[in-house]
């Protein structure tokens, strides 16, 4: 691969990383302005639990693409905020599942439309073809890293 092509790909990688960071910074700012009282990472767990609660911490970690110790720390904070509770598995008491509390369910329902608006801000001015190509390209890059 020539140096020129390599530099171009490096610039694409940098742009992808820079864009991801900018999206997260924007969302973080909006979360603060809305006064949600949770972080982006906490929201990721709350949203998954909203869709699939109750579930094990290991399953939650896999679903959120986070390591188990990180999920444990985030859950500890969400338990303190009374948004999530740990429940002993009725079949195997050694296992623990996590679920949203009623307060957590209410917060997620309130946040969902606002988070959707926050996310859509970055995607405005893009059409369906843009989205299809974007998804195709990202999936190709992702799959290339599994080879």
| pLDDT tens-place string over residues 41-99 | 999 999 999 999 899 999 999 999 999 999 999 999 999 999 999 998 788 888 889 99
Looking at the domain assignment, is residue 79 inside a domain? yes
Residue 18 belongs to some domain of the structure = no
Identify whether the C-beta of residue 47 lies closer than 8 Å to the C-beta of residue 60: no
What residues make up the domain containing 122? 38-144
Distance (Å, whole) CA 61 – CA 64 = 5
Q: Tell me the average pLDDT of the chain.
A: 91
Cα atoms in the Cβ-side hemisphere of radius 13 Å centred on 98: 25
CB 46 within 8 A of CB 104: yes
Does some domain include residue 86? yes
Contact of 44 with 64, CB cutoff 8 Å: yes
Is 51 contained in some domain? yes
Asked if the structure places residue 7 within a domain, the reply is: no
Q: How far is CA 97 from the centre of its chain?
A: 20
Residue 142 has a pLDDT of 87
* Domain membership flag for residue 10: no
Instruction: Please give the structure tokens belonging to residue 61.
Output: 């970690």
% of the chain surpassing 90 pLDDT: 72
Yes or no: say if 118 and 30 are a contact pair by the CB < 8 Å rule: yes
Has residue 7 got a pLDDT over 80?
Answer: no
**Total domain count, the chain:** 1
Q: For residue 9, what pLDDT is reported?
A: 73
Q: What does the alpha-carbon distance between residue 65 and residue 45 come to, in Å, rounded to a whole number?
A: 10
State the Cα–Cα distance between residues 67 and 132, nearest whole angstrom.
Answer: 30
* 3 assigned to some structural domain: no
24 domain residue, yes or no: no
3-state DSSP assignment of residue 146: coil
Per-residue pLDDT, 2: 53
Contact by Cβ (8 Å): 74, 93: no
pTM of the model: 0.82
* CATH code (residue 122): 1.10.10.10
Contacts of 61 (CB under 8 A, 6+ apart): 67, 68, 70, 71
């Amino acid at each position: 691969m020539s140096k020129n092509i390599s530099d171009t790909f490096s610039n694409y990688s940098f742009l992808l990383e820079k864009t991801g960071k900018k999206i997260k910074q924007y969302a973080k700012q909006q979360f603060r302005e809305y006064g949600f009282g949770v972080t982006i990472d906490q929201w990721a767990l709350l949203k998954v639990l909203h869709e699939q609660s109750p579930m094990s911490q290991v399953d939650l970690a896999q679903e959120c693409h986070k390591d188990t110790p990180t999920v444990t720390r985030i859950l500890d904070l969400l338990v303190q905020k009374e948004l999530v509770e740990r429940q002993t598995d009725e079949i195997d008491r050694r296992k623990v599942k996590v679920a949203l509390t009623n307060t957590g369910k209410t917060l997620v329902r309130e946040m969902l439309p606002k988070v959707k608006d926050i996310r859509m801000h970055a995607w405005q001015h893009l059409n369906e073809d843009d989205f299809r190509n974007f998804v195709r390209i990202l999936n190709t890059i992702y799959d290339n890293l599994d080879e």
